[in-house]
Structure formats: C-alpha cells, structure tokens
Structure 1
Amino acid sequence: MSLKIHTNAEAMAQWLERCVKALGNHSDRLNAINIFPVADGDTGSNLYLTARTAQDAVSRWETNDVGELLTLASRAAMESARGNSGTLLAVFLAGFAEPLMGHERLGAAVLAQALERAKVRAWSALSEPVPGTMLSVFAAAAQAAARVARAPGSDISSKAALIEVLEAVRIASRAAVISTEALLDPLTRAKVVDAGAVGMLIMLDELHAVVTGTVVDADAYSGLHGYGIQDPHIHATALPVEGVEVMCTITLDPLEAATLRGQLDAVGDSVIMSPVNPTENGYRWRVHVHTPVAEHALEVIRKHGSPVNISVTDLCSHDG
C-alpha cells in the first residue's frame, strides 16, 4: 500500500489551523505552568493568539508555494505577536519558511533545513538566549532532523524519509521538554516543565499529524510534570512582578538594530529583536523588552526612528 502523506501549501495551511485549535485547547494548562521568565500565567494565551493571527493571514490565501504561505503567516504573527512566547513562535515560523521558498512540497531534506534555520533565527533573536525554554525544543528538533536526513544510505527524497524525520523530531522534542525541568531553577523548584516548550511540542506534533493524516492523542501530554488537569496554577502563588512589557515595530538598518539591542539590554531584559521583512531602508523589526518603566525603553527606541504597533502591558496584570 502506498504511503499517503500531505505536504503541499494547503496542508501547511491546515497545520496552522490545527495548531490554533490545539493551542486553544491547551492554553489553560500552558498558562497554569507558566513560570519563566515571568510567572504571569499567559504563555498559553499568547501562543494561541499569535498562532491565530498567523492562520488568519493565510486562511484565504491561495498559493502553491509552501514558503510563500508560511512567510505571509510569520509576518502577520510577528506584527501582532503576544509576549515572549508569541514572539518566538513568530520568529520560528519566519525562519522555518525561508528554506521552503520556491517549494511546492515538504520533503525530508528541506524540512531539516527549515528546522535548522528556525533554530538559528530564534536563538539569535534573543540578547540572552536561555536553554530550558522553547529554544531547547528548537535545538533538539533541528538536531534530530539533521541526523536522520544525513544518515548514510537514506533515500532523502522518499516519503518514508520525511516520516522518519518527523518521528525523530517528535521524540527529540518531547525529550527536550522533559529536560527543561532540570535546566532552570524556577522550573525545578515548581516541579513543572516549561510552558513555551510544551507549546512548541504541540505544534510539532500537529505538523506530524497533518502530514501523515492522523490525530494527536488527547492524552499525549498528561505525563508531563505539572500538566495534569488537577494540578494548580503555579503563577497564582508567585510573587507579583514589577515592570512592563514593551513591544513595537520599527524600521532600522542592521547597524542601528544592533545598537538598539545593546541599549535595550541596558534598560531592561528579555530583549527580543527579529526582522519582519526587508524595506528600502533596512528591515522592519519587531522589538520586545521587559523594563521597569515603559518610557525608558520607548525613549531609547524613538532615538532610532518612529515605532508603530506599540503595546505596553503590566507584567503583574496578566491573569492567564
């Protein structure tokens, strides 16, 4: 029997749709275990809302180019990204789309390239990347895909090779999620895995499912620490967090972007900067920073240009 798989642009649009549904179903439990970098109980909500923006952008878009479709989705997600986790999801999609430009089908080799590029984009977007987060899942997925794709004697163009890569990615990503509990002290103390990492695992599981025409087991995540339905919301007992989250979009050339990143590091933390799309004068950049006072960050940003899509959110006001 011939192995039937689904790898075209329509399938990738369905992947985004399934991610939105899955993240929506899991948002409460993801919020419940959200404790790093800020115990604000909104990681699940942020992932869901960002993924929904990506899916909405391509819901009526007709193209045969897988990379073109995912690039459009990533740009929409980046412009409306919510929080650390939503921003990194958008960055992941942007990197994932790049090697897929010009491809009408997903294959084992290009999937491995897409995962590697997504990993690089995500890790480089952060001023201070921290293992034990979504980044660990990105790294594990890329490494697993590359290992299978480069295996001696493998027919990398076959359907079976693509399924083998996807299976390896699922296994490695789940192991990376489990390992997060031991990599970050706040997670170790709370006895939970990282919420953003679980969200990324959910998306990669859905990618496997849409390609193979299967359904993810509803109980697939019940064994993860802190993920039982009876487990309490960790963030509810955490100490209030002072400060605000500032996000905006601004056009900069690469040198200005590097300068701004350094200046934001001086007035805040959790700095994420990633290009959205090229312009005549450089790139549109999505900027994210946690800072004690919003105006401190905005003053630094405005020295380099005119930011748009500005949002300022109290870190202690999130209720999941």
Structure 2
Amino acid sequence: MKSDGDTVNMITGLQWKQMMRFGARALERKKHDVDALNVFPVPDGDTGTNMNFTIQSAVKDAEKTSGASVAEVATAVSMGSLMGARGNSGVILSQLLRGIAKGLEGHKEANGLQVAQALQVGVDTAYKAVMKPVEGTILTVAREVAKGAQNSAKHGAPPLQILKDAYVRGQLTLEKTPDMLPVLKQAGVVDAGGQGFLIILSGWIAALEGQEFEEEVVLATPQAESQMIRGITAIEDLEFPYCTEFLVKGQNLRVEKIREDLAASGDSLLVVGTEEVVKIHVHVKNPGNILDYAIQWGSLHQVAIHNMLEQNEAMAHAQKHEELDESSLQETPSEEKEHGIVAVAMGEGIADVFRSLGVDEVIFGGQTMNPSTENIVEAVRKVQAKNVYILPNNGNIVMAARQVKELVTDRNVYIIPTKSIPQGISALVNYNPQGDAAENAKNMEDGLSLIKSGEVTYAVRDSQFGDLEISEGDILGLIEDVIQVTGKDRLQVAKETLDTMKWKDHDLVTIFYGEDVSEEQAEELRTWIAAEAPHIELELYPGYQPLYYYIFGVE
C-alpha cells in the first residue's frame, strides 16, 4: 500500500536505506537502456552496467548497517560505492554519494533543506574529483538536480516534493545535453550517465511514495569477479589467516591515526570512514588484538571474522599443483622491495608480456569489464613494495585507479595514466627498477607521448560517427580511441589503420592479435608488413584479448 510521502518531513536512516534499494533496483531494470545510449559503437565498458555495479556495492554496504541514523547509512553507502566504483561513470556516481554523505554528517534524520544541501555537497565533491569537467554529462545533470532541490527547499517543501522538483529540473537538463555535446546530438541521444543518475533518483522518489518492490533487489556481481584479480601469486600468503572486518562507532574518530596504528598488525589493511564511523578490514594472526585496540575508540559493530586458511586450503593446494612449477614451490621470504607495478590487461598473452617486463600483479579487465577501485586496491596490497605504480591501460579505468591513492596510504602509489595497452608497454620500457620513484613516474608518463595506439574491433550498433556511416557488424579501425577506418574485411581494415597511423615513418610496430584471430591470419598481416617495409622492426604477439582483433603500437 502506498503512503502519502508528502507528509514525510524528516528522512530517517531506514528510509535512506530504502531509497538506495529502490534506486539500485530502478537502475538494475534499466541498465541496458542506459548502455544503449553510449554513442561510441565499439564494445566498451558500458555506462549503465558500471553505474549499476557501483550502486549495488553501495546498497550492499548499507544493508550491513543496523542503526537508524541517516548519517550512518549514508556513510556506508559512500564506502560501498567508493570500493565498488567501476568506470568513469561509476567513479563520478561514487563521488556524488560520497559528497551526499558529507552533507548528512551528524544528522540522525534529515529534513528537506538538509537533503538539498547534501545533494549540493555531492555535486561539489564530484566536480572536484574530475580533472577536466565536461558540460553535457552526468555532472551537468547532477548540478541542475541539486539546484532544483535547493530552489524547492527554499519554499519549505517536504523531502518528496523537493526530490520531485529536482528530478523535473534534471530531466529538462538531460534533454538539453545533446545541445551541449555535439557527439550526443550527432548520435541523437541524451547523456548516458545523466540518464542513469535520474533513474536512481526516480527510485528514491518511489521509495518515499511508499511503493513496493515487485521482487527483492538482487545484488549481482560480474561473472568474472572471482577471476578479476589474478597475478603471479594466485593465492595470497596466509601468514595472517583471519580476515577481520568491523565498524567502529564513536566521536572524533581519527581515521589516519587508526590506519597508522594498525599498519604493522597484518596485511590487506583498509581503514576508511568519518569521525563517527570507521570501517576496518585487515588480515591478522590474532583478531582479538585488533578488537581490543579498536574498542578503545568506540563501540564495535558488524564484527565478522573468517578463517581463510580453513576455507581456502583445498583450493590453494589445487592451484599450487596446477599453476606452479617445482622451482616456484621453494619457500622464499617475502621482503619489501623498492618498486612494484600493477597493470590491467585484457588478455592472457598481454598479461604474460607485462609480467616479462616487470609487472608484479595483473588485473584482468578492460573493455566491458572495468575493474573496481576495490579490485585495484587488492592488487596493490599484494605488491610488497614501498612504491607501487598503477597502469590502468584504459581511459575508462584511470579515474577508479586514481581513487586508490586515497585508500592505500602505507606506501607511495603512483598512477601512470595509460589509456591503452601500447601505452602501458611504453611506460614499462621507460621504467628503471633502480631509479628514484618520482623520476620513474615522470619518465613513465613522459613515454606515453612517444607511441601511437590503434585497435581493430567491430561495431555493436548502427551509428553515425563524424562523416562515417557505421552498420552493426562493420569492422572498425581506431587510432587513439577515435574511429578512423571502417570496412567489411578484417585484414583490409587492419592494413588501412596502420597506414593511417603512418607506420612506415616509424622504427617499431608492436601487434597483439586477439582470441578471435588465428595464428595463420596474424601471419598474413606479418607477411604484408615485411613486404611493405622490411627495414621496420615488428613484434607480433598472441594477446588473446577479447573483442579487439588487433591492438597496434607504433613508435
């Protein structure tokens, strides 16, 4: 039965939790509609999917809270979205939710004006997180939503009416996004991220109106989630077998101090939160010591302790026999080294090349499978080094990677903003294992301008891109993420893409061929290159990457 939401003058923590459930459910139902708004016709890390996983991670953390304080629930939402953020759209959504949590700090309940103010803090936080904000995106829509809420709140409207007024203004703004971004106008669509945010907002409104779920919210995870984090070591060292996770609630909690005090207690330490609520996750030998320490700060909640040794012993035994040769079975002490590297790869062959160039941990991901901030944090935690360099190797992963610096503070983290696999290779070539950390980071980033990147893939939808008429299934040649060549024949598009990259004017061409390309087909391309310019060095590797037939690096 519906209730009159207009009579609700204060939003409680339980209501905020319900709003998040409804928002997540609304986006879950329409995520593919949001994906369809992506103007780029290539297989990509879809906006709706990334936002969906981000908000579902937020709801998952919110469900763990037992208190009725709106601040407590909003803080849990913020933490969950931060750790689950995927892709640029997911990261921006997490920053909006993080700012909203800041705006609700200290409130047991929130009235309409406080909700409107929290929305504005969310927008301010999201804008600050984006290095070069672009109008006509989710940022613009969220900003106007906040303005609509503020204007409504000035007239003393209750929370439900404020959100309705905010939604109307946001919808009007969304409809104008094609006039702000030419690429949207050409494709005849509105901004996908803005649409996703309004869908979430519609869920919040539905919750306050007292609507009911048709079914329970299913907190899905990517099928590949369990395989997302992989590296040289498949099972982490269980020197610290107890995974200990809990919340501390109190006053004047000092996150940095707690993190510093617990730094030597175990591994996989994560301490995030506010002055009122801190979330702690750590792997230790003795959970009692950690709990004894934490209780000095406040009350303990949602304590969960798991014996990983017992749970994973059989799996670890099987994987060791399958993946490790006799020499790697020899026990060696784990010593902290000066430098370590984490890289994202989209194929086993590419991962092997990265490892051969010194990468310690490989995260399997890329197009259509953007790793979350938490995935990257876990990979960084596995690297026993004072300085860790992260190579996202995809433009849609850079923002998630940048958030890792805030979460990992017990070592120096450097984000090298690589946007392609060839850029990742170039960064590694400019890496000096004996060099200074800051100088290494500079040299690795400077090397990105020395290489051109290209890809050959296929169109997932009919579209118009510039002067190019593209049909679903067409073969596409991209240079620096811009479609330059279209055709029906894979080999011909590959040749034309390389020619457009002016490969003959360079010294080295590196090619990774994908899982849908046979060795014989790759050799056809090699033969053509050798005949056209035998003086140019060619490196051809089986990358086994999905979706992309070829990845080119020209330098």
Aligned residue for 1:62, secondary structure, equals coil
- Displacement of 1:194: 1.1
For residues 411 and 169 of structure 2, the distance between their equivalents in structure 1, rounded to whole angstroms, comes to: 37
Q: Quick check: 1:278–1:284 contact (8 Å CA) kept in 2?
A: no
Indicate the SS of the match to 1:112. helix
- Please identify, of 1-10 and 45-54, the stretch whose mean Cα deviation from structure 2 is larger: 1-10
Please state how far the C-alpha of 1:38 moved relative to its aligned partner.
Answer: 7.8
| Distance in 2 of aligned mates of 1:47 and 1:194 | 13
2:171 corresponds in structure 1 to 174
Code of the residue aligned with 2:424 in structure 1: it is: E
Structure 1: distance between partners of 2:70 and 2:416: 28
Give the Å deviation of 1:298. 8.0
Asked whether the 8 Å contact 1:291–1:297 carries over to 2, the reply is: no
Q: Among 19, 22, 26, which residue is 1:22 paired with?
A: 26
Aligned residue in 2 for 1:200: 197
The corresponding residue for 2:119 is: 115
The reply to whether residue 87 of structure 1 matches residue 216 of structure 2 is no
Shift of residue 315, structure 1, vs aligned partner: 12
Asked if 1 retains the 8 angstrom alpha-carbon contact of 2:50 and 2:86, the reply is yes
Write the letter of the residue equivalent to 2:193.
Answer: G
CA distance in 1, matches of 2:208, 2:129: 29
- Corresponding residue of 1:210: 207
Instruction: Supply the distance in 2 between the matched residues of 1:165 and 1:35 (Cα, whole angstroms).
Output: 32
User: Structure 1 stretch 206-215 or stretch 128-137: which is displaced more?
Assistant: 206-215
Contact 1:31 1:195 in 2 (8 A): yes
Structure 2, unaligned stretches of length 5 or more? Answer: 214-365, 382-388, 439-454, 458-545, 549-555
* Residue 292 (1) aligns with residue 443 (2): no
- Deviation per CA, 1:14-68: give whole Å up to 9, x if none: 1121122111110111111112698726111111111111111121321122122
TM-score by length of 2: 0.41
Please identify, of 186-195 and 29-38, the stretch whose mean Cα deviation from structure 2 is larger.
Answer: 29-38
Say if 2:25 and 2:203, in contact at 8 Å, map to a contact too.
Answer: no
Instruction: Give the whole-Å Cα distance in 1 for the aligned partners of 2:131 and 2:159.
Output: 34
Residues matched between the structures, number: 265
Give the Cα–Cα distance (whole angstroms) in 2 for the partners of residues 36 and 288 of structure 1.
25
Q: Given residue 110 of structure 1, which amino acid in structure 2 is its aligned partner? A: Q
Contact kept? 1:16, 1:55, Cα under 8 Å:
yes
1:66 pairs with 2:63: no
Return the match for 1:75 from 76, 79, 86. Answer: 79
In the TM superposition, what is the alpha-carbon distance from 1:104 to its structure 2 partner?
Answer: 2.0
Are positions 1:126 and 2:130 aligned together?
yes
Whole-angstrom CA distance in 2 between matches of 1:137 and 1:123: 12
Q: Say whether residues 1:164 and 2:161 are aligned partners.
A: yes
Percent identity reads 26
Deviations 1:245-287 (A, max 9, x none): 6763479xxxxxxxx9xx99xx9856534589678779999x7
8 Å CA contact 2:112–2:159 kept in 1: the answer is yes
C-alpha separation in 1, matches of 2:87 and 2:179:
24
Tell me: CA distance 1:128–1:7, structure 2 relative to 1, closer, same or farther (3 Å). Answer: same
In structure 2, relative to structure 1, the CA distance for the partners of 1:290 and 1:84 (3 Å cut) is: farther
| Paired AA for residue 52 in structure 1 | Q
Q: Secondary structure at the match of 2:158?
A: helix
* 1:139 to partner: Cα distance: 0.7
Q: CA deviation at 1:71?
A: 1.6
- How large is the Cα RMSD of the aligned pairs? 4.0
The higher radius of gyration belongs to 2
2:47 is aligned with 1:50: no
Structure 1: how far apart are the matches of 2:418 and 2:158? 42
Q: 1:62 to 1:24 in 2, by over 3 A?
A: same
Q: Do the aligned partners of 2:62 and 2:80 also contact (CA within 8 Å) in 1? A: no
Relative contact order (C-alpha < 8 Å, sep 6+): which is higher?
Answer: 1
Q: In structure 2, what is the equivalent of residue 256 of structure 1?
A: none
> Which deviates further from its counterpart, 32-41 or 63-72?
32-41
Aligned partner of residue 127 in structure 1, secondary structure: coil
Q: Does 1:35 align with 2:32?
A: no
1:232 counterpart residue number:
none
- Taking a change above 3 Å as real, the CA distance of residues 12 and 4 of structure 1, as seen in their structure-2 partners, is same
Mapped to 1, the partners of 2:23 and 2:184 lie a distance apart of: 25
Contact 1:36 1:186 in 2 (8 A): no
Distance 2:76 2:178 in 1: 34
* Cα distance, 1:106 vs structure 2: 2.5
Q: When you count helix as a share of all residues, which structure comes out higher?
A: 1
3-state SS of the aligned residue for 1:119? helix
1:200 match: secondary structure: helix
Shift of 1:135: 0.5
CA contact (8 A) 2:57 2:84 kept: yes
SS of 1:291's equivalent in the other structure is coil
Distance 1:297 1:118 in 2: 37
* Aligned position for 2:187: 190
Report the CA distance shift for 1:51/1:298 in structure 2 as closer, same or farther (over 3 A): farther
TM-score when scaled to structure 1? 0.69
Structure 1: how far apart are the matches of 2:426 and 2:83? 18
Match of 1:141 in 2: 145
**Equivalents in 2 of 1:289, 1:180: separation in Å?**
28
- Following superposition, the deviation at residue 143 of structure 1 comes to 1.4
TM-fit CA distance, 1:163: 3.3
Does the 8 A contact of 2:65 with 2:72 survive in 1?
Answer: no
